[in-house]
Amino acid sequence: MKCLNQTHKVFFDSRSVPRAFWENGDEDVTIKILFCGVCHSDLHVAKNEWGFTNYPVVPGHEMVGTVMKVGSDVKKFKVGERVGVGVIVGSCKKCESCQQDLENYCPQTIFTYNSHYTDGTKTYGGYSDMIVVDERYVLRFPDNLPLEGGAPLLCAGITVYSPMKYYGMTEPGKHLGVAGLGGLGHVAVKMGKAFGLKVTVISSSPKKETEAIERLGADSFLVTSDPAKMKAALGTMDYIIDTVSAVHPLLPLLSLLKLNGKLVTVGLPDKPLELPIFPLVLGRKLVGGSDIGGMKETQEMLDFCAKHGIAADVEVIQMDYINTAMERLAKSDVRYRFVIDVASSLSQ
């Protein structure tokens, strides 16, 4: 692939940032970005909270757009199609994980931003006007999914869908707890209902209850600081998706699980959590992790959402609102995802 330097206006400030513009290779697709969701990871990386940010960084890994150009070997897409790009844009394609359509667990995963291609050049994300991606890492965007509401599915959606499938949280009638009601949590509630589960939101904020039940369709709401309600809910849940990124106690969540219950964490606390072992042994419970999903499963998730009418609840913003949006996101002041209207607000 040849690399040309061109300048494009990107966010944070209005100075142009030099950015590699790839020529479209044989297996590549060039995409005009229409919308891009603002994921909490974007905030972590922008502020170097994980310690590996390589500035300048163009975040954004929940993007949807239209195909402008396809390489000569591209089979899955044609010009004009609606597509999405999520968290990864490359992998080794040869390891056991890649062969099992689990590119997200490949040791050489290339992330959509703040990562490097094999030739050492940086990857830049979706807070930008266009992107060139190997077709393997591009998703077909279903026609009946709204672009703005569908964009966040490319990270938030797959992040909760994948563990729900892997850990078997899809048996109708079973009881799912969703800890944390933000970008990930609200999508988990919608998917849980689509799987036919009873869903209880577990939250530290009592004021989210009406919203959770009346708008999102949760069956019940549990405030973690209400000891009587927590006690009444002991041993009632088959599984819990834990979306909380702050350090928090696991014991109360483990206690909500039935025998053989599964607590799956998809949030990323920056310190280790305390894990009491007795509840695991006495109830044959487990704590597991999950990290986005492979390309095949991400496509399956989009198709599932299209079939069940699942989209994220979004607040659409202009590009120049992004810094304010980031501040509000840090305070969880959004229902439940910001989505940047890139096409109409980011121009050269």
Partner 1 sequence: MAMLSENEHPVKAFGWAARDSSGHLSPFKFSRRAIEEKDVTFKVLYCGICHSDLHNVKNEWGITSYPVIPGHEIVGVVTEVGTKVTKFKVGDKVGIGCMVGSCHSCANCKDNLENYCPKMILTYGTKYYDGTITHGGYSDIMVSDEHFVIKIPDNLPLDGGAPLLCAGITVYSPLKYYGLDKAGMHLGVVGLGGLGHMAVKFAKAMGLKVTIISTSPNKKEEAVDHLGADGFLVSRNIEEMQSAMDTMDGIIDTVSAVHALLPLIGLLKTNGKLVMVGAPEKPLELPVLPLLLGRKIVGGSGIGGIKETQEMIDFAAKHNIVADIEVIPMDYVNTAMERLLKADVKYRFVIDIANSLKPI
What is the phi-psi region of residue 47: left when phi exceeds 0, alpha when psi lies from -120 to 50, beta otherwise?
Answer: alpha
H/E element, 199: strand 198-203
Is residue 102 within the footprint of partner 1 (CB under 8 A)? yes
Is residue 123 within the footprint of partner 1 (CB under 8 A)? no
| CA–CA gap between residue 279 and residue 138 (Å, rounded) | 42
Is residue 82 within the footprint of partner 1 (CB under 8 A)? no
Q: Which one of residues 133, 250, 295, 329 is an interface residue with partner 1 (CB under 8 A)?
A: 250
Residue placing its CB nearer to partner 1 in the complex, 227 or 288: 288
Identify the DSSP state of 62.
Answer: -
- Give the nearest distance from C-beta 285 to partner 1 in angstroms: 6
158-187: which residues touch partner 1 (CB under 8 A)? 163, 166
The mark string for 263-282 relative to partner 1 (x by CB under 8 A, - otherwise) is --xxxxx--xxxxxxxxxxx
CB atoms within 10 A of CB 265: 21
Is residue 41 within the footprint of partner 1 (CB under 8 A)? no
Is residue 259 within the footprint of partner 1 (CB under 8 A)? yes
Residue placing its CB nearer to partner 1 in the complex, 254 or 322: 254
- Give the nearest distance from C-beta 235 to partner 1 in angstroms: 9
Residue placing its CB nearer to partner 1 in the complex, 29 or 169: 169
Spell out the residues 6+ positions from residue 330 whose beta carbon is closer than 8 angstroms to its own: 43
The mark string for 205-244 relative to partner 1 (x by CB under 8 A, - otherwise) is ----------------------------------------
The alpha helices in 35-112, defined as continuous H runs, are: 40-46, 96-99
| CA–CA gap between residue 152 and residue 35 (Å, rounded) | 10
Q: What is the largest CA-CA distance in the chain?
A: 64
φ/ψ of 328, rounded to 5, equals -70, -40
- Give the nearest distance from C-beta 253 to partner 1 in angstroms: 12
Question: Helix, strand or coil for residue 35?
Answer: strand
- Give the nearest distance from C-beta 88 to partner 1 in angstroms: 13
Q: In this structure, are residues 191 and 164 in contact, taking their beta carbons and an 8 Å threshold?
A: yes
Is residue 283 within the footprint of partner 1 (CB under 8 A)? yes
Are β-strands 257-265 and 237-242 bridged in parallel, bridged antiparallel, or unpaired? parallel
Are β-strands 198-203 and 175-179 bridged in parallel, bridged antiparallel, or unpaired? parallel
- Give the nearest distance from C-beta 266 to partner 1 in angstroms: 7
Is residue 25 within the footprint of partner 1 (CB under 8 A)? no
- Give the nearest distance from C-beta 121 to partner 1 in angstroms: 24
Q: How many residues bind partner 1 (CB under 8 A)?
A: 34
Q: In this structure, are residues 155 and 39 in contact, taking their beta carbons and an 8 Å threshold?
A: yes
Q: In this structure, are residues 211 and 335 in contact, taking their beta carbons and an 8 Å threshold?
A: yes
Q: Which one of residues 47, 93, 229, 284 is an interface residue with partner 1 (CB under 8 A)?
A: 284
Residues that bind partner 1 (CB under 8 A): 96-97, 102, 105, 163, 166, 250-251, 259, 265-269, 272-291
